[in-house]
Amino acid sequence: MKYEDSKANEKVHTDFRERMTYGEYLDLDQLLNAQNRLSDHHDEMLFIIIHQVSELWMKLILHEIRASIDAIRGGDLQGAFKMLARVSKIQTQIIHAWDVLSTLTPAEYIQFRDQLGQASGFQSYQYRMIEFALGYKTSHVLKIYEKNPELHAKLKNAYESPSIYDAAIEALAKAGLDINPDLVNRDFTKTYHGDPTVEAAWTTVYKNVEKYWDLYQLAEKLVDIEDWLQQWRFRHMKTVERIIGHKTGTGGSSGIGYLKKVLDHRFFPELWDVRTNL
């Protein structure tokens, strides 16, 4: 058995003096040394890693959504579907992260919570960029990032850019469906709240699935993403309630009150209304 193992591994590379290693490719030294606790409490490591991993997943979500917006606007809906399906799978990973964080008890969290100061997940710029990419635009959050001009410029660009739903509405118009022309070139800094022509267009798509198969698939991919996002928000809210109850958030938000309020927001309103109207 030992002989067989040595035979199987005899071609494995072991000399990396002039070759790139796995750790170097992933920049693991920097990545694994970025967990800097501000307290001596054992569970602060959990708190840091959960949030860092979530930010990495959000980076990939943004990568996929931005590319899918370009694909939809360029007429490559099939290419966009693969990216959006990947986004939904990533969202399931972020949702499950709350299950791990919920092992942190209130008694444990209060041992290091004060070390956070005013730092809060409310300030996650990548989460804000995801909201912007999905069409929820809030100008007041930009003030948080004025400390970093380069980052503020990125946020402002995302804030002013069309969302994935704007791209979907544009696709409806290109398909010959009767869309209010003001929507195609609207002010993208405004949160979209719905339009009767868009609702009528999606109703046509859902009643003529074979004719508008690509648009039907696009609609369902968007519903998947909003569904998972709302499940993420709900798990976030329940995890926060479980750990800190109704305390004010470290960043000054109302905590549970704010998290419950955002659960009522709909990103793609007509895609939900059409289900009632069919």
Tokens of 7: 């035979």
What's the rounded Cα separation, in Å, for the pair 35 and 37?
6
51 annotated to bind ligand: yes
- The answer to whether the beta carbons of residues 124 and 145 sit under 8 Å apart is no
Q: Determine the distance from the C-alpha atom of residue 165 to the mean position of all C-alpha atoms in its chain, rounded to a whole number.
A: 15
73 annotated to bind ligand: no
What's the rounded Cα separation, in Å, for the pair 203 and 184?
19
112 annotated to bind ligand: no
Tokens of 189: 């800094």
Biggest distance spanned by C-alpha atoms of the chain: 74
42 annotated to bind ligand: no
What's the rounded Cα separation, in Å, for the pair 84 and 181?
26
Contacts of 50 (CB under 8 A, 6+ apart): 97, 100, 101
Residues 204, 218, 210, 169, Cα dihedral to 10°: 30
- The answer to whether the beta carbons of residues 102 and 239 sit under 8 Å apart is yes
246 annotated to bind ligand: no
Burial class (CB in 10 A: 0-12, 13-18, 19+), 225: buried
* Residue 124: CB atoms within 10 Å: 17
250 annotated to bind ligand: yes
Cα 50 to Cα 4, 46, 252, distances in angstroms = 41, 6, 21
* Residue 179: CB atoms within 10 Å: 20
Q: Which residues are annotated as a binding site?
A: 47-51, 109, 113, 236, 250
Q: Which residues are annotated as a binding site for substrate?
A: 47-51, 109, 113, 250
Q: Which residues are annotated as a binding site for heme?
A: 236
